[in-house]
A and B are shown apart, each in its own frame.
Chain A
Amino acid sequence: MKVMAQMSMVMNLDKCIGCHTCSVTCKQAWTNRTGVEYVWFNNVETRPGVGYPRGYEDQEKWGGGWVRNKRGRLSLRSGGRLAKLSRIFSNPKLPEISDYYEPWTYEYDTLLNAPQGAHTPVAKPKSLITGKDMKISWSANWDDNLGGSAETLAEDPILQHMSEHVTTEFEKTFMFYLPRICEHCLNPSCVASCPSGAMYKRVEDGIVLVDQDACRGWRMCVSGCPYKKVYFNHKTGKAEKCTLCYPRLEVGLPTVCSETCVGRLRYLGLVLYDADKVAEAASVENEHDLLESQRSVFLDPHDPAVIEAARAEGIPEDWIEAAQASPIWKLISDYKVALPLHPEYRTMPMVWYIPPLSPVVDVVADSGNDAEDARTLFAAIDKLRIPIEYLAGLFTAGDVAPVDDVLHRLAAMRAYMRKINLGEEKDESIARAVGMTGTEIEAMYRLLAIAKYEDRY
């Protein structure tokens, strides 16, 4: 056992209001400068939708992440290091600016400086790349709130892989938001892709960084990352990425995106894991086993053997305590309501998500049942407005069972707490039905609903 500490995040998508405050505060703090105009370390996608950069989840096109080869080993999907070296000067798997978007500004100064003329002055759009007039036709968030669904929805890679047909009927509309930052993976394919050794994971907290002095701008990391969360600064010629705000973490502050999240849906904390088990866990044959294999890499911070091993690795005492207090461990391993994003990329991502519980009661009610009754509520989980298969396509490599379990737990929490809210008897059977106790549900409720600052970070 080699105990290491990883700073990780869980986002509760069920609470995300899609406001993009995280994107703006992150942009302002980190990428509001030339060379990275198009870069959003943190972005928020409307799902279903094509994401940013456009269609990044289509690994057959972009070749990011790992694949398990016949020998049971992992290799970079875009080819091993040798292959990369062979085409270091021309990387065909690199998204172009149009896949992100052509950043622009406007002739704002016209508004003040226009001479007396025949028409009201206006600020027309100008490309930030070429400086020329442009018609704006794509952005980092073009399909926000299903905008342009008729045109682009079919390009969503998840929809393309679903067996269930998703229609674009008004009555059946659904959407939710997916905020994304770098996953700070345990098995980062970007790091493995870098020919210069410029990318690394910090020993103490697992944050994945680009050494700005060492980066040579080969951009293999951009291709290698299946989440497309490494970007190229076209001014400095170096790669840049989400730093998990380490300058803030180092002084005890949560990341900018976490602290400014007005949906209060981000949890930040240390997880202890066994570094010796990562490769094995990432290499399990069946993609549906990846969730459980990644969970098995995490170490119980309350286990005396783990604590001892952690001390032996030189992990400071306060870090061990932080891991014990971490909301991440609770959400991933105790309550089992958080799931990884695209485990099938085999990078062992460390930003996990609680899937959204979408409107369900109307479906139940339409079938003539009591909409607030806990049992009928569970029965209807597979009739959610958001198709469960879609969520499985994001979080469990298509395996609907774990998603189903999470949504049952969230629904059970609502049913259980409603009784308390209305001053009725606690109903332990609701908790039992989802494999929890009432006490556990109440603790989970406090973490998810009351979610005080000190409990989130």
Chain B
Amino acid sequence: MTLEKPTRAPANDGPLAASLVKYGRFLRKGEVSDDFRSVFLEGGRSGDVFYRDRWSHDKVVRSTHGVNCTGSCSWKVYVKDGIITWETQQTDYPSVGPDSPEYEPRGCPRGAAFSWYTYSPTRVRYPYVRGVLLELYRAAKARLGDPVLAWAAITDDPESARKYKSARGKGGLVRATWQEAAEIVAAAHVHTVKRYGPDRVAGFSPIPAMSMVSHGAGARFLNLVGGSILSFYDWYADLPVASPQVFGDQTDVPESADWWNSSYLIMWGSNVPVTRTPDAHFMTEARYRGQKVVTVSPDYADNTKFADEWLAPHPGTDGALAIAMGHVILREFLVEQKTPRFIDYMKRYTDSPYLVTLDDNDGCLVPGKFVTADVLGSDVENAAFKTVLLGADGEPVVPNGSLGHRFSESDEGLWNLDLGDVDPLLSIADSPLATETAEVVLPRFDLAPEVGREHAGGAGTITRGVPATRVAGRLVTTVFDLLLAQYGVGRDGLPGEWPTGYDDASSPGTPAWQEEITSVPAAKAERIGREFAENAEQSGGRSMILMGAGTNHWFHSDTIYRAFLALTTMTGCQGVNGGGWGHYVGQEKVRPITGYSQYATAGDWNRPPRQMIGTAFWYLATDQWRYDGLPADELASPLARGKFADRTTADCLVESAKRGWMPSYPTFNRNPLDICDDADAAGIPVADYIVQSLEDGSLAYACEDPDSPENFPRVIDIWRANVLGSSGKGNEYFLKHLLGTDSAVRANEVGPDRRPRDMVWHDDAPIGKLDLLMTADFRMTSTTLFSDVVLPAATWYEKYDLASTDMHPFIHSFNPAIKPPWQTRTDFDLFKTLAEEFSALAETHLGVRRDVVAAPLQHDTRDALATPHGRVVDGAPAVPGLTMPKLIVVERDYPGLAAKWGSLGPLATKLGMTTKGITYDPTPEVEKLAHVNGVVPSGPQAGRVRLDTDVRVCETILALSGTSNGRLSVQGFRQLEKHTGQRIAQLAEDHEGSHITFPDVQARPVSVITSPEWSGSEHGGRRYTAFTINVEHLKPWHTLTGRMHFYLDHDWMEELGENLPVYRPPLDMHRLFGDARVGSTAATGAPGSAGHAEVAVRYLTPHSKWSIHSEYQDNLFMLSLSRGGPTIWMSPQDAEKIGVRDNEWIESYNRNGVVVARAIVSHRMPEGTVFMYHAKDRTVDVPRTETSGLRGGIHNSLTRILLKPSHLVGGYAQLSWAFNYLGPTGNQRDEVTVIRRRSQEVVY
């Protein structure tokens, strides 16, 4: 400290003020700057102690968030005095290399706010049961002395059942002991299995990747029971159905560090900064390498800030834009210039050179079926699945690698993409042999409906010519020629209607044509298409499209995505680092998939599991089908052959189930346990008994009569999920029919003219089908509010588990920062409790039974050969596994269930573990696990590997998967080598001795090992992208041709007019369901609307900045940083129409329900479209509505399930079912809603 006289004049104020400061510095031990400007202080800082104390902590624990965002970020959780204080991100990911940004730090504000839940007032601390039910149960049990009999008595008595069901969602939850709550839950399960059948018990828990053990523990319990596990990826509409259609793969995409390798990036309906927050920096940073960034979004989305170009098509019209870009690319890069890289890629890796017959359709020619070896007269094995192309000499060739080679022993080593000396003809026009031209008629859906024929929509046809030739007496052309016709790319000498140029708006496919549909300027569409291809050519395929919910949640998303995938495929970008598609919505990658599946499906004990398509389950269970009645032929092509005539989409679902295309649980209208007993009594095999009974009418499918009490789902277990506050499309129908409580359903059931033909109609709709809704959670959601029993779950900072994702290549861990507080339990322990309680009650009530599982025709198995040429034949004999589901008898050892749940069964080694057609033998691993985990010391499973703690399950999953165990990976690759005749195993051989253990991933995230479980390679530290194994090692895609498909020849695809990528507009909800037309300001007459201006708008529910689905939307930090409750974003123009100002209360309603929210008026929104960000639960700041008088609904109160028949196709090549791989999506983007300003006085 200096007391010398200052050497400089005061820098400020003046002498008087300076003297004050001078005075002050005698009072205070500090150093005043020479010019009295500032005070400096050194030492003696007792006043600083507070902040130093606050920063101190006792320990830092690694964990993560088991939330459905695919972030899978590793976090540091700080603990002080046994209390979790806060969290910050870990930064210790393995390096991406010296010339790339790293993954650190991964995280987002949502994750950073998580610890708030630990001690928040919304934390579920104890088991709860609704008081009404608990009283009924206690009384019944006192009377009957047995939990199962008590449950039967309550649910059998209509009065008591109505009493507790109608009380659902209206408060009155009371604390129960764990013992009592578990007993009620177990009794309901036992009773349901006994009375109705195990498939009347359903379980819902999504996204195993976000906490595999927590998911697997419950799934394993239900799979041992024989319950139905509901899919989620398709239900969430996150499954891009185009992926199985085009790739024969569920979803496989680049990790985010691979965006860095792209030099042209289109973000198309994927708002990366919001929905991929931890990964977004790879995009912002890649721009500095000269990456060009384009966003396509109807609003000024967050990512537009980073874009060099912003295209703003009208919502849902993205397919037209993609088709026009494809038009430019095909014309300029594949026809006018024959870009060598693109041409070569198309020949090797796509179905474009393959031959398709031209068939007669009512006097005109239409594209038909793939030409296969049997058409050529060949009688080789599986000839109907060996597709044909023409060699350079114009002669037909049957190349290796098609589906026909995959399952034929005589073709060992030939399932590969090696074309040998064959140089396929891409176009018939290039054939040296005689060719001709043919006019084909193609469907279109972009027309304005004819006046008076609005019900037929905007469907029409267009005639265009293709070069053709004769093969085996049939007129054929190539997929490539058809593609050019479909995209409107004419060539000299071809007949038909062709555009005159890019500026010709009258002919589908051109940039000018798309402008009329999307509003994107034609010149811009043209330029972006050209640039995308130019960049792909210059960079060797490093053009990439990130696509997301904005384009994937539409009814016709499969067509939108096929138009996108056509762009990345025709430019040779798939299977290239920095190129191809990146589908980023709800994609989940359980990297250690084989071990996880073995555990969760309980495949070590019983096979197969009952895995159900979630959308169909909810559609029937919640009776949305009674309001739907969507005629399937309204969706059909004008060239359809009438297969959908007089049928609703619900009828298509029934047909799909009966043909074994899609799973259907509950399956039959009788208890499958009883069916087995009856078959035994009749002395015939169970499968034969079922076929006979179906034929004589004594047995029927439950889906034909979902409203008959024996077909109701009776018990639903929900954990790690919030169906009623988030994902439940048609939320109000759930409340009404499934739960039997108050709802705001506003639609009428369909009249007799629109009812399904093949389903039984009961005049009185069931109210309250479900007997028990059990939910385990750590916070209060709509699902817990409406549940009968709420079990208190541990949070993500209170347990051991594993996490992985598509977005990065690491496996990492959950670890408990504290023990589960109060009476909370981990999901693992919670299901252990239920399993034990169930087994105890099963001793007297169930015993060991036989069950019959009706399993659908399965992808990646010989079942994919069930439907030659995708031809749907009526009246074929019922043959399980061919024309109907497989019927498989499974023993259910109910008293022994808990012991099996807690130990590794014999089938893992006896039958092996099969993933995507490759079977792994884990015998050495199981021997090792016996030492790592120990063995069960006594009891029925003595000597088996213990799976009785979460850590032991973590070790087991890691030991039994190729990505975490090099020996298994190499074993799988060697099998693949035999199958393909290609050398591939080197991708994992240097890791053959590597085995990632749980302590490894506790220490830090660990990079996975390249494995045949996935299609890409991390070998040598390269970034993961999909299909590099296919492209570089000639392994076929799991499709009909073994290549990526532009063309789909299944009968139902033809009926829909979707053989080729085609533009289909958003559903016309006015035409189909009588909703208001977009833009209409006509009075609706809805309750409370009199005297208020109303406007009808498109209703979109994009992912929110302030929540991950409904998670965090109730978190005080997120609420404080946003508007603090439900909001709807709208344009100033729409706000003006209804006289509403920013932050005023509005109501939004359509036939499905009503929502109350505050308006956010912003010019970043386009006129005619509103956003209610997904997912607004009804738990926070939601008043009662004027429209219904009830509590306002969730965002999904305005939506309803709509089934698309193309999602229901099965039993044929890549169009075969697998869990979360194919199934009807729970799409919700096509909806329209009416909005009005409401009274600003709100009542809660």
Contacts and interface: CB of A to CB of B under 8 A. Distances in A.
A182 to B, nearest CB: 13
Contacts of B844: none
A448 B288 contact: yes
Given A15-B281, A20-B109, A149-B1161, A199 B1121 contact: no
A432 interface: no
Contacts of A21: 107-109, 112, 277
A451 interface: yes
Contacts of A23: 109, 1121
A108 B89 contact: no
Contacts of B42: 202-204
Nearest to A125: B1181
B785 A120 contact: yes
Contacts of B107: 21, 260, 262
Contact of B1124 (A66, A81, A139, A372): A139
Interface in B113-131: 113, 115, 120-122, 124, 128, 130-131
A202 B47 CA distance: 13
A110 to B, nearest CB: 8
Interface string A2-33: 10000000000011011111011101111010
Interface in B158-190: 167, 169-173
A372 B1129 CA distance: 35
B693 interface: no
B304 interface: yes
Given A168-B1132, A361-B292, A449-B288, A212 B1123 contact: no
Interface residues of A, number: 135
Interface stretch (A91-99, A275-283, A297-305, A318-326): A275-283
A18 B306 CA distance: 12
A155 interface: no
A106 B41 contact: no
Contacts of B35: 278-279
Interface in B242-278: 263, 273-274, 277-278
A122 B1141 contact: no
Interface in B20-37: 20-21, 24-25, 27-28, 30-31, 33-35, 37
A260 B110 CA distance: 13
A439 B639 CA distance: 63
Nearest to B1191: A120
A214 B105 contact: no
A116 B168 CA distance: 9
B1125 interface: yes
Interface stretch (B713-721, B899-907, B1163-1171): B1163-1171
A419 interface: yes
B273 to A, nearest CB: 4
A124 B1191 CA distance: 12
Q: Which of B25, B281, B1105 has the most CB of A within 10 A?
A: B281
Given A81-B21, A200-B30, A418-B263, A260 B105 contact: yes
Contacts of A451: 101, 285
B682 interface: no
B1142 interface: yes
A121 B1141 contact: no
Given A112-B124, A148-B1143, A75 B171 contact: no
Contacts of A148: 1142-1143, 1160-1162
Contacts, number: 409
Given A362-B310, A415-B290, A139 B132 contact: no
A169 B1163 contact: yes
A159 B531 CA distance: 36
A445 interface: yes
A291 interface: no
A393 to B, nearest CB: 18
Interface string A433-451: 0000000000001001111
B173 A122 contact: no
B822 interface: no
Given A119-B1184, A173-B300, A199-B39, A108 B122 contact: yes
Contacts of A261: 105
Contacts of A14: 284
Interface in B1099-1136: 1105, 1114, 1116-1117, 1119-1125, 1129, 1131-1132, 1135
Interface string B274-314: 10011011001111111110000000101011011110100
A358 interface: yes
Nearest to A116: B172
B833 interface: no
A247 B278 contact: no
Contacts of B10: 73
B50 A122 contact: no
B48 interface: yes
B48 A211 contact: yes
A260 B28 contact: no
A108 to B, nearest CB: 4
Contact of B263 (A73, A111, A422, A452): A422
B888 interface: no
A248 interface: yes
Contacts of B101: 264, 449-452
B131 to A, nearest CB: 6
Contacts of B288: 410, 413-414, 417, 445, 448-449
A211 B24 CA distance: 14
Contacts of A262: 89, 105-108, 277-278, 280-281
B861 interface: no
Contacts of A215: 47
A201 interface: yes
Contacts of B300: 146, 170, 173-175
Nearest to A14: B284
Interface stretch (A55-63, A187-195, A394-402): A187-195
B493 interface: no
A72 B994 CA distance: 72
Interface string A242-263: 0101111000000010011111
A260 B88 contact: yes
A75 B115 contact: no
A79 to B, nearest CB: 9
Contacts of A448: 285, 288
Interface in A20-76: 20-21, 23-25, 27-30, 32, 66, 73-76
A214 B46 CA distance: 10
A211 B87 CA distance: 27
Contact of B12 (A74, A410, A420): A74
B86 interface: yes
A211 B45 contact: yes
Contact of B131 (A108, A116, A147): A116
Interface in A332-353: none
A279 B6 CA distance: 14
Given A173-B300, A200-B38, 7 more contacts: A74-B12, A124-B1181, A124-B1244, A140-B1120, A146-B1162, A169-B1163, A414-B290
Sorted from nearest, which 5 A-B pairs have the closest CB atoms? A418-B290, A116-B172, A279-B11, A114-B171, A211-B47
Interface of A: 2, 14-15, 17-21, 23-25, 27-30, 32, 66, 73-76, 80-82, 85, 103-106, 108-109, 111-112, 114-125, 136-137, 139-142, 144-152, 168-171, 173-177, 186-188, 191-192, 197-204, 209-215, 243, 245-248, 256, 259-264, 275-276, 278-280, 282-283, 356, 358-362, 365, 371-372, 410, 413-422, 445, 448-453
Interface of B: 8, 10-14, 16-17, 20-21, 24-25, 27-28, 30-31, 33-35, 37-42, 45-48, 50-52, 54-56, 85-89, 91, 99-102, 104-109, 112-113, 115, 120-122, 124, 128, 130-132, 167, 169-173, 263, 273-274, 277-278, 280-281, 284-292, 300, 302, 304-305, 307-310, 312, 524, 527, 531, 538-539, 780, 782, 785-786, 1105, 1114, 1116-1117, 1119-1125, 1129, 1131-1132, 1135, 1141-1143, 1160-1167, 1178-1184, 1190-1191, 1244
